[in-house]
Amino acid sequence: MAKAIMLQGTGSDVGKTVLVAGLCRAAKKRGLKVRPFKPQNMSNNAAVADIPGDDKAGGGEIGRGQWLQALACGVRPTVHMNPVLLKPQSDIGSQVVVQGKVFGEARARDYQAMKAGLLDAVLDSWAKVGEGADLVIVEGAGSPAEINLRSRDIANMGFATRANVPVVLVGDIDRGGVIASVAGTHLILPEEDRRMIAGYLINKFRGDVSLFDDGISAIEKFTGWRCFGVVPWLKAAARLPSEDSVVLERLASGEKRALKVAVPMLARIANFDDLDPLKAEPQVEVVFVPPGKKLPEDAGLVIIPGSKSTIGDLIKFREHGWDRDLIAHRKRGGHVVGICGGYQMLGRRVTDPDGIEGSVREVEGLGLLDLETVMEPEKTVRNSSARSVQFGLPLEGYEIHLGRTTGPDTARPSAIINGVEDGAVSADGKVIGTYLHGLFSADAFRAAYLESLGVRGGGIDYRAEVEKALDEIAAELEGHIDCDAIFGLAR
């Protein structure tokens, strides 16, 4: 079994995913065979990963963060890198994905009881992910300080103690109170868990790092833990694919550019990292529109992203008045793209005869495309090679969806995916729907599509930009933290 270390946080969104990705890239540059692992993740931003030993399966789901970390390691992602994925469908319940496949649905309270049985799957994947590797870097979820959940924990100390993996705690100084966060974690952890922590990192520091020297001394006084370093604000992280919807709160406005792209912030928004390549374009301003705000009248393009709850989000779409804004946008000659759940919403009707998404069996669509979708139990999960029908250019992406879409407008497909027609295009060519996630990552297609909207693309090689960002983050970590000591903890 490979040696391993684990990063846990004083809370959610402290930057663990990016730090693990950066450490993975740093380890790879040192010549190590490194793999990422996250026992449990909660995200509607999923990626398609290989299912080892099952060539017919097409692929399974993992968190987008582990897909990025696998990229940092220079390896193909597998479902064993994130054996338990929770995809929120409501405020109290989630779809549970185990080793890439849908296991069932559970309310938060029911899931706590389910965890004990899931630990076996986590440990099975743990044994497999390290095969042939020198080092596995593990990412926790949330915080080990949630001691009310400790008895059934599989994401943090419950895993670390069972697998005997040393832990480095990560605190976020940008949000304030980092000394209390680190010291408070030390205070409330049981002794068995406290012994697993070898030290800590301070993340997201802005300015002169030496100004925090007294803070390090204070934390040492309260905890006795070693500080492995202070990580500066990593500007390159903004060029990485987004993982969690918490970042959307910081993206509700942007710098004015030639093309404004408006994206309604659906309650169950999924795979919104589809927008990242557009955000990287110098002439494109991507604005995420929160509930209660109108879709901006000066937007040239509205993109309705994926959703984990198409019917529920479609109902909310109308409640927010976005349906009226969208009709007005079309009357002004505006363009619309719907991806996955957003594509389903663009039709005339969405029906759910088996109640897969909930109690609502049918809802009227937005009517921008002449088609309808029927939700069906079988889920499509696969990486896909495709070609744009409009531009004749290659596309690479993936599909993760329920439902079958039919209707007259599908006679004008937007793409050919694995030899099969996909999506639909309106008669005037200004409304496009597709099940293909990742289409804007195709540089030639993105440039051609933007040009059709009167905007010159920036000639960006998006995948190369992500790779460059990972290299820059690895270099920053090597320069500001004691990577030798952190890697030396692994056992």
Distance (Å, rounded) from C-alpha 79 to C-alpha 51?
6
Average confidence (pLDDT) over 416-428: 96
Distance (Å, rounded) from C-alpha 79 to C-alpha 272?
21
Domains in the chain, ordered, with CATH?
Answer: 3-238+468-486 (3.40.50.300), 259-455 (3.40.50.880)
Does residue 154 register a pLDDT over 80?
Answer: yes
Write out the two tokens for 329: 């946008």
Contacts of 430 (CB under 8 A, 6+ apart): 330, 333, 334, 335, 336
DSSP string, 318-382: HHTTHHHHHHHHHHTT-EEEEETHHHHHTSSEEE-TT-SS-S--EEE---SSS-EEE--SPPEEE
Count of CB atoms situated within 10 Å of the CB of 158: 22
Does residue 112 register a pLDDT over 70?
Answer: yes
Residue 254 banded pLDDT, cuts 50, 70, 90: low
Does residue 26 register a pLDDT over 60?
Answer: yes
Active site residue 437: yes
Beta bridge partners of 365: none
Amino acid letter, 107: R
Distance (Å, rounded) from C-alpha 477 to C-alpha 237?
12
pTM for this predicted structure: 0.91
SS3 label, residue 432: strand
Q: What's the DSSP call for residue 481?
A: B
Amino acid letter, 243: E
Closest CA to 2 of 26, 28, 34: 34
Distance (Å, rounded) from C-alpha 394 to C-alpha 441?
11
Q: What are phi and psi of 463, to 5 degrees?
A: -60, -40
Distance (Å, rounded) from C-alpha 438 to C-alpha 451?
19
More confident residue, 383 or 246: 383
Write out the E strands in 154-225: 167-172, 197-205
Write out the two tokens for 21: 């990705």
Q: What are phi and psi of 26, to 5 degrees?
A: -65, -40
Average confidence (pLDDT) over 437-461: 94
What's the pLDDT score for residue 106? 82
**CA 56 to each of CA 60, 332, 382, 391, 418: distance values in angstroms, whole numbers, following the listed order:** 11, 47, 11, 31, 15
Asked if 445 contacts 165 with a C-beta cutoff of 8 angstroms, the reply is no
Active site residue 483: no
Write out the two tokens for 444: 């030639």
Write out the E strands in 209-283: 226-232, 259-264, 269-270
- Could you say which of 401, 437, 480, 483 is catalytic? 437
What's the pLDDT score for residue 93? 78
- Could you say which of 340, 401, 480, 483 is catalytic? 340
Residue 242 banded pLDDT, cuts 50, 70, 90: confident
Distance (Å, rounded) from C-alpha 336 to C-alpha 477?
41
What's the pLDDT score for residue 251? 47
Average confidence (pLDDT) over 443-471: 94
Does residue 252 register a pLDDT over 90?
Answer: no
Closest CA to 244 of 202, 286, 273, 278: 273
| % of the chain residues with pLDDT over 90 | 87
Beta bridge partners of 4: 136
For the stretch 341-397, pLDDT in tens is 999 999 999 999 999 888 899 999 999 999 999 999 999 999 999 999 999 999 999
Distance of CA 284 to the CA centre of its chain: 22
In the block, tokens 């990705």 appear at: 21
**CA 346 to each of CA 99, 370, 415: distance values in angstroms, whole numbers, following the listed order:** 32, 8, 17
What's the pLDDT score for residue 256? 67
Q: Which residues of 325-337 are buried (b: 16+ CB within 10 A; e: fewer)?
A: bbeebbeeebbbb
Asked if 403 contacts 365 with a C-beta cutoff of 8 angstroms, the reply is no
Closest CA to 367 of 401, 396, 338: 338
Most confident of 55-69, 327-341, 454-468: 327-341
Write out the two tokens for 199: 């030290």
Does residue 250 register a pLDDT over 70?
Answer: no
In the block, tokens 């994905």 appear at: 97
Q: In the sheet where 394-401 sits, what is the strand order?
A: 394-401, 380-388, 415-417, 420-422
For the stretch 265-302, pLDDT in tens is 999 999 999 999 999 999 999 999 999 999 999 999 99
Closest CA to 64 of 267, 245, 235: 245
CA gyration radius, the chain: 23
